[in-house]
Every structure is written in structure tokens, then in C-alpha cells.
Amino acid sequence: MKGFKFNGISAGIKSDNILDLGIIFSEKPAVMAALFTKNKIIAAPVILGKKKLKNRICQAILVNSGNANCCTGDQGLKDAMDSAEMVAKILRIDVDNVMVSSTGVIGQRLPMERIRKGIPRLIDDLETGDIDNFARSILTTDTTIKKVEKKCDVNDHVYTIVGIAKGSGMIKPDMATMLAYILTDAHVPHSVLQQSLQRSCDKSFNRISIDGDTSTNDTVICMANGMSRAIIEDHKDIARFNENLDHVLFGLSEKIVRDGEGATKLAKIVVKGAESSDDAFMAAQAIADSSLVKTALFGEDPNWGRIVAAAGRSGAALEMEKIDLLFDDVYILDRGSWCGQDAEALAHKVLKKSEYKIVIDFNLGDFDDYYLFCDFSMEYVKINADYRS
């Protein structure tokens, strides 16, 4: 991918020399699209980011982990602006084109002295820095870096889309509950980029659930620097671009759920035959968010009663005697009737796998939807009970 540079270092925000400060830099100013959390409590970098989005241009993104810079008042906003300014000065670019993101504990001031010392070092090493260091520097409780790359072409011109994300807990998107950076060297007009990003997020990041909580810092930023010769403009090319973007965002979504705090299973709930698209979405979300469903999956128990009960409280129209329920290809409910002990034993085998699909068909209408989610383990509780200590 042309024209993007990355780096990630340990600035001492976290202990033990863990990477905690990262940067993305584009040699040329890039067209920017972005989406932010819908939580009403928003972190300082999100407040700032929403303002900067009006420029539609971005050249650098500074990200720190270990501290969310949220609920930090005017001081927090000043700290975010000061960080952006320092980056702009050293890189000799317009401060309006510098975005900042933070992720970590809420309510503590950024350790600005460490960040001020870290930024020059971060930028000095930009030539030798690499994308994996950046991807590592933005992690919190994540256990792995999350990166997806897709080579594409348009009219014989090759371009690349790269996505990097972090997210492991506080994941129930209303937008996208995490940080994600989507970069491409294609040339894409702003209006197309913003629409494509929104569309692709709705299908991917907005359909994953780890714990039903929505973060204050969620940010997805997309940069298109146009440094390849690929130009995305006409209808057909946009459609192809969208497909490629979907590929990257779906890939990141799956990586996030797979790395869910304490997760041992990756499950996809597919709702079929709902009376409306709202019904399909509500039912999928209620099932994916249910603590009782999630703990049953952890126990590898095909407890279909809990799945049906979660659908039943979701608000979606349904009739018990019409419901089909499958674990992968194993029918456990056929038009509302339990398929017996043999089916239950087969379903139990499916749940022993690390990855499977659960399909619930209401057989009422033509609307489908889905959600990716994970199980709920004792490890999740442990991680989140001890998070700040």
C-alpha cells in the first residue's frame, strides 16, 4: 500500500514497556471518512474528532492505549489538542489534519509528560516502524493484534485496503465499539468514502456483541490517500470497492469477537423468516446479548430454551409452533417441536467446536439478520473484576 507509514512504541502510559503509543502517517493528505460512538458520554478525542471530520482530510492519526481520556473535562480536551499540535509541528503538517484516539481506563488524565516525550521518538522512527507495532500499541485487554489486508484492482490499477482494529470488551456496537483504522491508497471522493464506510460498518461492526456494553471512545477512521493510480468513481467501481471494504471489516469483526474477553467460542446467530427487518435485528441482538445464552454456550449446552426465550423477550413477532432452530445443520426444533435426545446429542457435539452457527427460523416472513458473538466465561468476569487493579 502506497504512502502510509506506521509506528508503535512504549511511552510509559502502561507499565512493563508494553507498546502504548502509535501513529499512522500518510505522505499525502488523505480523504477521510469517520464514524464515532453513539454513547452520550464521549471521550475528549471523540469530541475533537467530530470537529475535525468537517475538514474531510486527514494526514496523521495518533493513538494511545492505557488511558481513554474520557470524563476528563476541559483539561482532557486540551490534552488531546496539545498532542495533535505536537504531532503536526514535528511532521510539519496542518494540525487540522491530525486525528487522535485514546482507549483504556475512563476518568484519569492523560500522562502528558510521557506522551510529550514519546511523540518525537515515535515520529523519528517512522521510517523503520512497522504496521504490526502500530497494531500492537493500540491494544488493551486484546490478546492478539487485528489486521486485515485486501489487494484489489480497478481498471487494471491495483490498490490495497488495510484495516487495523482493537476491541475485546465493552463491545456492543451502536456504530462500532472499538477503534478501527481503514486505510487505502485508492482515490475515493469523500461522499463515497463516508457512505461506503457507514454501509460496511452497519453490516460488520454493528453486528457483533461481546458483553452488551457500548464504549465512550469508539472510533472508525478511514483514510484514502489516492497514491495508487486506482480511482473509485463510477457506480460499478464503487460497488466493487464496497465489496472489498466489507471483506476487510468482516474480517476485523470476526477477529474482535474471536478475541472477546474470556471468549472460548465464536458463534453466529442467524435469524430467518422474520416479519420485518427490525424484528430480525432485535431477535438476533437479544440472543447475542443474553447472558444466559452466552453462559450456556460456554458450558457447551444446546439449551435451546434460552435462545427461544431471548427471542421471545426481544419484541419480535414470533409463534412457538412455527419456529425451527438449528445448531449448524442439526435441527433441534422443527416447527416448534423438540427433535429428541438424538438431536440433542448431535447438537452437543456442534457446541464442542470452537466455531458454529445457530439458525432460528421464525417462518413468518422474508426478513433475515445475523449477529456475531462469543460465549461468557468465568475468565470474562475475572478480567473485568480486576480491570483497574
| Catalytic (active-site) positions | 177
Binding of residue 312 to a copy of itself (CB under 8 A): yes
Binding of residue 269 to a copy of itself (CB under 8 A): no
Binding of residue 68 to a copy of itself (CB under 8 A): yes
Considering beta carbons, is residue 202 or 344 the nearer one to a copy of itself? 344
Question: CA of 362: how far to CAs of 270, 344, 359, in Å?
Answer: 11, 20, 10
- Candidates 53-61, 101-109, 158-166, 194-202; binding stretch for a copy of itself (CB under 8 A): 101-109
Degrees, nearest 5: CA angle 221-226-228: 125
Binding of residue 342 to a copy of itself (CB under 8 A): no
Q: In this structure, which amino acid lies at residue 2?
A: K
Smallest gap from Cβ 352 to a copy of itself, in A, equals: 13
Residues in contact with 7: Cβ distance below 8 Å, sequence separation at least 6, in sequence order = 22, 23, 122, 123, 125, 126, 129, 130, 133, 134
Considering beta carbons, is residue 178 or 310 the nearer one to a copy of itself? 310
Considering beta carbons, is residue 169 or 251 the nearer one to a copy of itself? 169
Residues in contact with 173: Cβ distance below 8 Å, sequence separation at least 6, in sequence order = 205, 206, 207, 208, 209, 214, 218
Going across the sheet that includes 367-374, the strands are: 208-209, 367-374, 266-274, 355-361, 324-327, 330-334, 337-338
Considering beta carbons, is residue 157 or 353 the nearer one to a copy of itself? 353
Identified binder of a copy of itself from the candidate list 10, 195, 276, 295, rule CB under 8 A: 295
Burial category of 230 from C-beta neighbours within 10 Å (exposed 0-12, middle 13-18, buried 19 and up): buried
Binding of residue 318 to a copy of itself (CB under 8 A): yes
Identified binder of a copy of itself from the candidate list 18, 57, 71, 90, rule CB under 8 A: 71
Per-residue string for binding with a copy of itself, 189-228, x by CB under 8 A? ----------------------xxxxxx------------
Smallest gap from Cβ 325 to a copy of itself, in A, equals: 10
Task: Tell me the residue ranges of DSSP E strands in the chain.
Answer: 4-9, 21-36, 57-67, 98-105, 146-154, 157-166, 179-184, 208-209, 219-224, 266-274, 324-327, 330-334, 337-338, 355-361, 367-374
Binding of residue 299 to a copy of itself (CB under 8 A): yes
Q: In this structure, which amino acid lies at residue 101?
A: S
Identified binder of a copy of itself from the candidate list 338, 349, 357, 363, rule CB under 8 A: 338
Binding of residue 384 to a copy of itself (CB under 8 A): yes
The answer to whether the beta carbons of residues 26 and 18 sit under 8 Å apart is: no
Identified binder of a copy of itself from the candidate list 89, 203, 275, 336, rule CB under 8 A: 336
Nearest to 370 by CA among 209, 241, 214: 209
Nearest to 112 by CA among 86, 138, 141, 135: 86
Smallest gap from Cβ 8 to a copy of itself, in A, equals: 25
Binding of residue 331 to a copy of itself (CB under 8 A): no
Smallest gap from Cβ 381 to a copy of itself, in A, equals: 5
- Candidates 2-10, 35-43, 160-168, 183-191; binding stretch for a copy of itself (CB under 8 A): 35-43
Question: What single DSSP character describes residue 59?
Answer: E
Count of positions on this chain that bind a copy of itself (CB under 8 A): 62
Identified binder of a copy of itself from the candidate list 105, 231, 270, 346, rule CB under 8 A: 105
The answer to whether the beta carbons of residues 179 and 165 sit under 8 Å apart is: yes
Nearest to 11 by CA among 21, 3, 1, 2: 21
Binding of residue 7 to a copy of itself (CB under 8 A): no
Smallest gap from Cβ 377 to a copy of itself, in A, equals: 6
Identified binder of a copy of itself from the candidate list 22, 169, 226, 251, rule CB under 8 A: 169
